[in-house]
Amino acid sequence: MAKDKVWECKIVVPGDATLPEGFDLPPRSAAQRAVEDTGVKTVAVFSGWGGKLTDTQLEFVDKKDDILLHFGEGMSASMTSMLLVARLDEMGILALHEGQTLADLAMAIDAIGRGVTNHDEPNGPEQA
């Protein structure tokens, strides 16, 4: 049998939020239902409010408002790419092409991480 795949999701709420008893059940149930609705069987589901964030996740939470100002609420690039671009922008070492945005750069970094080049993309650059 193949090794099980584990998806991890961390939901962060303000530290002073009052959470009712059993409050982890609704989001856990919703996540399980969303996976099973795709036809994938879940083996087990665990949740609880004792999770910890990595250093990168903590930095993102701390700088989230500033990062979203750079990228906008609908940003679809990864947190790591957004942090990298925000750091480089703060350092003043980014040189964007005319019309290129910070969001464009973060999404391009994501594409490189996935091994995608613009030659792989539909409607990529035209060949001369």
Q: What is the pLDDT of residues 57-85, one digit of tens each?
A: 787 777 776 666 656 555 566 767 777 77
- Enclosing H/E stretch for 30: helix 25-36
Q: List the chain domain ranges.
A: 1-51, 55-113
Which of residues 30 and 65 earns the better pLDDT score?
Answer: 30
* DSSP H stretches of helix in 72-126: 79-91, 102-113
Percent of the chain topping pLDDT 70: 73
Q: Please provide residue 58's backbone torsions phi and psi, each rounded to the nearest 5 degrees.
A: -60, -45
Interacting residues of 77 by C-beta distance below 8 A, sequence separation 6+? 71, 103, 106, 107, 109, 110
Which of residues 81 and 38 earns the better pLDDT score?
Answer: 38
Model-wide pTM > 0.75? no
